[in-house]
Amino acid sequence: MSKLEFYARPLVAFDPNNKDHRRWYYEFIEYGGWGKCPVRFICPNESGSDLVKMITRLLVEHYIQKEFESSKKEVVQKTKKTVDRRPKR
């Protein structure tokens, strides 16, 4: 192993649930490069895929799930309340 590999930033799979990963991606967008990022992100399951496209897709999925997860809970709660209002015979 060369000394360059020893001092290189660690390889990490991007996790949209990790606040630091999202912040580092924001810094990449803001500064136009990965220079301030302490890790190197990889595409673990997508061979030949573009890293930025993969991260963007993961973030879109993350925020869509987060947004509609709360509305799904509200719908379930509203349906439970309406079911209880039926008159008894």
Torsional sign, CA 58, 60, 55, 16: negative
Report CA-CA distances (Å) from 55 to 3, 62, 73, 77, 81. Answer: 29, 10, 27, 34, 40
Confidence at residue 30, expressed as pLDDT on a 0 to 100 scale: 96
Q: Does residue 87 register a pLDDT over 70?
A: no
Residue 44's pLDDT is what? 80
Q: Give the global pTM.
A: 0.70
